Chains A and B, each alone.
Chain A
Amino acid sequence: MERKIRVLIAKPGLDGHDRGALVIAQALRDHGMEVIYTGLRQSPAQIAQAAIQEDVDVVGLSSLSGGHKTLFPKVVEALKEKGAEDIPVIGGGVIPDEDIDYLLEQGLQKIFTPGTPTTETVDFIKSCVSGDSHE
C-alpha cells in the first residue's frame, strides 16, 4: 500500500488564531493525508524536532500576528541545523504580498494568503512530495 503523505501543521510564536491551521489540517486529512497539529506557542526548535520525530513529508506554518518574517525562516534554519533541510516548509496566514519574496528567499517553498482554496494547498503538497520522490 502506498504510504500516506504526512504533514506537520504548526503555529510558531505566541499567536493564538488557529482557525486556519485547524481548517487546513482537516482539509488535508479529508484528502487522505496524515496530519499532526502541534498546538499553539511552538518554538522553531520544537517544530523542527516534531517534524523529524514524526517523519513528516511537509511542514505547514500558520501565523496571523505579523511575526512570520522572524519566525518562519527560523523554522527552516532549525530543520537545517538538525540535518532535515529536505523537508519542505510552506506557510500561510495574514502575510502581506511584499513579504512573500523575502520568505521564499529564506527557504520557504510557498506562501498561501487569505482566500486560497484548500484544494490549492493540497495540490501543492502533493506536487512537493512527488517531486521529491522522482529525484
Chain B
Amino acid sequence: MTEHFNEQLNEWKKQVEKTNERFPERKEQFVNKSDIEIDPLYYPKEDQVDGEYSEKVGFPGQYPYTRGIQPSMYRNRFWTMRQYAGFGSAEETNKRFRYLLEQGQTGLSVAFDLPTQIGYDSDDPMSEGEVGKVGVAIDSLEDMETLLEGIPLDQVSTSMTINAPASVLLCMYIAVAEKQGVPKEKVTGTIQNDILKEYIARGTYIYPPKPSMRLITNIFEYCANEVPKFNTISISGYHIREAGSTAVQEVAFTLANGMAYVDAAIESGLAVDQFAPRLAFFFNAHNNFFEEAAKFRAARRIWAKMMKEKYQAQNEKSWRLRFHTQTGGSTLTAQQPDNNIVRVALQALSAVLGGTQSLHTNSRDEALALPTEESARIALRTQQIIAHESGVADTVDPLAGSYYVEQMTDEIEKEVMEYLDRIEEMGGAVQAVEEGYMQREIHQTAYETQKKIESQEEIIVGMNEFKIEEEVHEDLLRVDEQLEQRQVNQVQNIRGQRDQSQVDEQLNKLKQAAQTDENLMPYILDCVKSYATVGEICHVLRDEFGEYTGM
C-alpha cells in the first residue's frame, strides 16, 4: 500500500522538478506572515496512508487528477485572468481589450452579439434591435481586423464565445493572424463550439444536431493538422447551471455532452488521442462554497477515468480535464448591487481552490446591464486580490484531506455517474437532448429554486431579506443606439467594395462541399478571405443543412 504511495510521491517530485525548470516558481521561498514556510503540497504521512488516498485522491499532475492537472499548479503560474468583454462596435471593443491588457489581464475573451452568434448580418431583418447589444457585432473579416488591431496574436490567447458559426469566426481569426504575420500553427485560444448545450440551455443554435456535429468534427480534424495549439471546443456547463441546474446536473450533462463529441469524432475517423488533448471545459462557480470546490475535483476525476478506461486514450493529456470558470451570473442581484462583489469573491475563491485554469469574475452590475469600466475593473481586482494577497495559491489543493470535501467529492461523483448511466441508456447525449430530457430536468430544478426563494427557504441577501429602499442606478453602461445603423451601413459598404465574383465563387464552392462529406474548414476560410459575411456563409449552410426550430 505504502509502496504505491511512495511511487506516486516520487513521481510527483520528479514532475515538480521538471516543471520548475521550465517555469520557475513565483517566489524563491513561500512563507506566511508568521514566517512559517509553505510546502508546495501537503499529503498524508506515511503511517496514515491507505489505498483509498492513492486511488481516489493521489497527487496533482497524476491520474486521476483529483488534486489538479499540474504537479505544482499556481506555485509556478497563476490561473489566466480572462474577463469576457465585448459590446457595440469592433472599435469600442478593441479599446476595452487594450485597456484590460494594460490593467494586467492575461488573455482575451470575446463576446459576440446575438446576430453574429446566430449567423445573421447586422442588416438582416432578424437582427433588428440586437446589433451590438450583448457583444461585438462582426459581419465580415474587416470587423475582425478592427477588433484585433494592435493586439499581438502570437502573444495573446483569445477565447471566443461562439458556437453555431464557430467555424466561420475561427477562420476569420486565422485570417487576421496571417495578415499580422502569425502562422496558423502559432495562434492560441479557444472557441466555445459546444452546440449541444445551445439546444439544452443557451439557445443560439442554427442547424439541427447532426450537421452541427459534423461541423464540430470538421473543426477538430482541421485544427489537429493545421492549428494545433487552439482549443477546439469548450464543453460548457456554465449555461446549463445558469438555466437553473444543480451542481451535479451541471457536471453530469456537461460530461455527457463531452462524451458525445468524443463519440462523434471517433465515428468520423479520428483517433482519440488526436483530438482529446485539445478539449477544454467551462464551468460555473456558484455560492455554495465547498460544494463548488468539490464539484471541480469530482469533474476532473470522472473525466480522467472516462478517457482512460472507456475511451482507452493513451496520451495523458487526453485524461486531463482543463477548465475555465465564470462566477454565477444568476446569483447576482439587481438589489444592492455592491453586495455582488462579495458573492463574486467567494465564488472565485471556490474556483481557485477547485484548480481552475482560467477565470472570469462577473461585475457587480450585471443583473442591471452590461458592466461599466469601473465595475469590470473591480471584478478583475477581485481575482488579483485572491492571487496576490490571500495566499491560497501558495500550496496545491489545500482542501484535500478535509473529511467534508473528500466525501462531498465522492458523493458528487456518484450522483454524476448515475446521470451518465441514465443518459447512456437513452442512447447518449444527442438523443437525450432531442428528447428534451436535460431541458426538463433543468427546468424542474429552476422552478423549485424559485419557489424556495419566494418562500424564503433560501435567503438571498438584499433581495428577499435585509432589504432597503433603493435609488435608481444611474451609472450603467448604455450601448449607443445609433450603433446598429452604423453597423448596417458598414456591412453594406463592404458588399459594395469587395470583388463580388470572387465571393460568389467561394460561396458556391462551399455549397458544393457541404453536399459531400469533405471537411468544410478550408472552404470557409476561402469565403472569409474573400470578405463574404457571417450571414452569407451561414445562409449557404442553412440552405444545405436546414434549421433547428426548438422543442
Pairwise interchain contact A67-B129, C-beta atoms closer than 8 A: yes
Q: How far is the CB of A23 from chain B (nearest CB, A)?
A: 5
Q: How far is the CB of A36 from chain B (nearest CB, A)?
A: 14
CA distance A13 to B133 in the complex (A): 12
Across-interface contacts of B335 in A (CB, < 8 A) = 115
Q: How far is the CB of B8 from chain A (nearest CB, A)?
A: 43
Pairwise interchain contact A13-B367, C-beta atoms closer than 8 A: no
Pairwise interchain contact A19-B446, C-beta atoms closer than 8 A: yes
Pairwise interchain contact A94-B130, C-beta atoms closer than 8 A: no
CA distance A51 to B35 in the complex (A): 70
CB-nearest residue of chain B to A63: B129
Stretch binding the partner chain, chosen from B22-30, B74-82, B470-478 = B470-478
Q: How far is the CB of B410 from chain A (nearest CB, A)?
A: 30
Across-interface contacts of B198 in A (CB, < 8 A) = 16
A19-73 CB contacts (< 8 Å) to partner B: 19, 22-23, 26-27, 39-41, 43, 65-67, 69-71
Q: How far is the CB of B301 from chain A (nearest CB, A)?
A: 29
Pairwise interchain contact A13-B368, C-beta atoms closer than 8 A: no
CA distance A15 to B443 in the complex (A): 17
Q: How far is the CB of B208 from chain A (nearest CB, A)?
A: 15
Pairwise interchain contact A70-B129, C-beta atoms closer than 8 A: yes
Pairwise interchain contact B130-A65, C-beta atoms closer than 8 A: yes
Quick one: which of A14, A40, A69, A96 has the most chain B CB within 10 A?
Answer: A14
A40-B550, A114-B334, A115-B333 known; A22 vs B368 contact (CB < 8 Å): no
A97-135: CB near B (< 8 Å → 1, else 0) gives 110000000000000011101110000000000000000
Pairwise interchain contact A13-B129, C-beta atoms closer than 8 A: yes
Pairwise interchain contact A26-B369, C-beta atoms closer than 8 A: no
Pairwise interchain contact A115-B334, C-beta atoms closer than 8 A: yes
Pairwise interchain contact A113-B202, C-beta atoms closer than 8 A: no
Pairwise interchain contact B446-A22, C-beta atoms closer than 8 A: yes
Pairwise interchain contact A96-B473, C-beta atoms closer than 8 A: yes
Query: On chain A, which size bracket covers the interface?
Result: 20 to 34
Across-interface contacts of A114 in B (CB, < 8 A) = 333-334, 367
Q: How far is the CB of A111 from chain B (nearest CB, A)?
A: 12
CB-nearest residue of chain B to A113: B334
Across-interface contacts of A26 in B (CB, < 8 A) = 443, 447
A23-B446, A114-B334, A115-B335 known; A13 vs B369 contact (CB < 8 Å): no
Partner of A98 from the list B127, B130, B472 (CB cut-off 8 Å) is B472
Across-interface contacts of B130 in A (CB, < 8 A) = 13-15, 65, 67
B118 at the interface (CB under 8 A from A): yes
A17 at the interface (CB under 8 A from B): yes
Pairwise interchain contact B463-A115, C-beta atoms closer than 8 A: yes
Across-interface contacts of B474 in A (CB, < 8 A) = 98
A77 at the interface (CB under 8 A from B): no
A18-B203, A19-B243 known; A118 vs B454 contact (CB < 8 Å): yes
A23-B446, A66-B370, A71-B129 known; A96 vs B114 contact (CB < 8 Å): no
Pairwise interchain contact A94-B446, C-beta atoms closer than 8 A: no
CA distance A97 to B64 in the complex (A): 49
Q: How far is the CB of B241 from chain A (nearest CB, A)?
A: 11
B379-430 CB contacts (< 8 Å) to partner A: none
Across-interface contacts of A17 in B (CB, < 8 A) = 202-203, 242
Across-interface contacts of A23 in B (CB, < 8 A) = 244, 446-447, 450
CB-nearest residue of chain A to B484: A70
Pairwise interchain contact B454-A96, C-beta atoms closer than 8 A: no
B466-512 CB contacts (< 8 Å) to partner A: 472-474, 476, 479, 481
B111-138 CB contacts (< 8 Å) to partner A: 114-115, 117-118, 120, 126-130, 133-134
B330 at the interface (CB under 8 A from A): yes
CA distance A98 to B478 in the complex (A): 11
Pairwise interchain contact B118-A19, C-beta atoms closer than 8 A: no
B204 at the interface (CB under 8 A from A): yes
Q: How far is the CB of B389 from chain A (nearest CB, A)?
A: 32
Q: How far is the CB of A64 from chain B (nearest CB, A)?
A: 8
CA distance A65 to B330 in the complex (A): 14
Q: How far is the CB of B47 from chain A (nearest CB, A)?
A: 51
A16-B202, A118-B454 known; A94 vs B368 contact (CB < 8 Å): yes
CA distance A75 to B253 in the complex (A): 36
Pairwise interchain contact A40-B203, C-beta atoms closer than 8 A: yes
Across-interface contacts of A70 in B (CB, < 8 A) = 128-129
CA distance A39 to B203 in the complex (A): 10
Pairwise interchain contact B242-A19, C-beta atoms closer than 8 A: yes
Across-interface contacts of A67 in B (CB, < 8 A) = 114, 129-130, 133
The 10 closest A-B pairs by CB, nearest first: A16-B203, A70-B129, A14-B114, A66-B133, A67-B129, A114-B334, A97-B472, A115-B463, A39-B550, A117-B454
| Further 18 A-B residue pairs, CB within 8 A, beyond A23-B446, A39-B551, A98-B472 | A16-B204, A19-B244, A19-B446, A27-B450, A39-B550, A41-B126, A41-B203, A65-B133, A66-B133, A66-B479, A67-B129, A70-B129, A94-B334, A96-B473, A96-B476, A97-B473, A113-B334, A117-B464
* Chain A residues at the B interface, C-beta cutoff of 8 Å: 13-19, 22-23, 26-27, 39-41, 43, 65-67, 69-71, 74, 94, 96-98, 113-115, 117-119
11 contacts between A and B (CB under 8 A): A13-B114, A14-B115, A18-B243, A23-B447, A26-B447, A27-B447, A40-B203, A65-B133, A66-B134, A66-B370, A67-B130
